[in-house]
Structure 1
Amino acid sequence: MTALSRSARWAALESVWCQAADAAARRPLGSVAWQALGSCGARTDLPWTSDPEDIGPWDAESMRALCRSCPVLADCAAYVDTSGVSAGWWAGTNRDPAYAEPARPGWVKAHGASDGQPAWQGVLPFGGAA
């Protein structure tokens, strides 16, 4: 058996403590402690609980992207399924039944771009009749 240095032992012990804390915080038995680990907690600038008509396509896309990379996305989705959430943005989608998904922003080939050197421009769909 190889003896570990004091710093290596400390690092191994710290790793075990962190893993245990993560596991304890993510227990699904009615606990919502996992929410503290969510990416959304640090992004108070996004309209997570706004009325559906106040969420624009760029905000929706920003929230959707943040949810995709969230370390507790599975916990969030499980919570939504078990608790019957019916309002706010959870697990990548707005859970309000009155919410109509806005058209998603996208990219189109820019006018006058050649096939050899395509140029792309962003497109934001606008709602409402002119």
Structure 2
Amino acid sequence: MSLPTIRLDTLLTGRVQPFTRPGSQSAIDKQPQQGQLKVSTLGLHGDEQGDLRVHGGVEKAIHHYPLEHYARWADELGAHPLLRQPGAFGENFRTTGWSEHDVCLGDRIQVGTALLEVSLANKYLDNAPPLRR
């Protein structure tokens, strides 16, 4: 099987800030970063998560979202301004050419000097990665 051509379009990080209700926090507002960032078992240097019960940690250290899904959301939501730029879904990596159709849980991918492993799929996706091929 040949692997798809994968391009890391944008690398994004965000800081925790107050969110919708009093006392809640979020770091969903990820902003593009230039150059290299250090990667640890807890994610990208300078990236934060507002609610560690559901985001972050070793199993959810880096959030990936493919550019290909943006078009589907634009069809559903219309010309929303957030969909004109990377980071609309709080992702750390926005790629072209790599989606749930191309990956399985446990797959590993080299990004710079970091070796990353797919450890979790979005449970809301109809086409979530299978456990193995």
TM-score > 0.5, shorter chain as reference: no
Bigger Rg, which one: 1
Structure with the higher fraction of residues in helix conformation: 1
Q: Structure 1 length normalisation: TM-score?
A: 0.22
Tell me which protein shows more strand as a share of its residues. Answer: 2
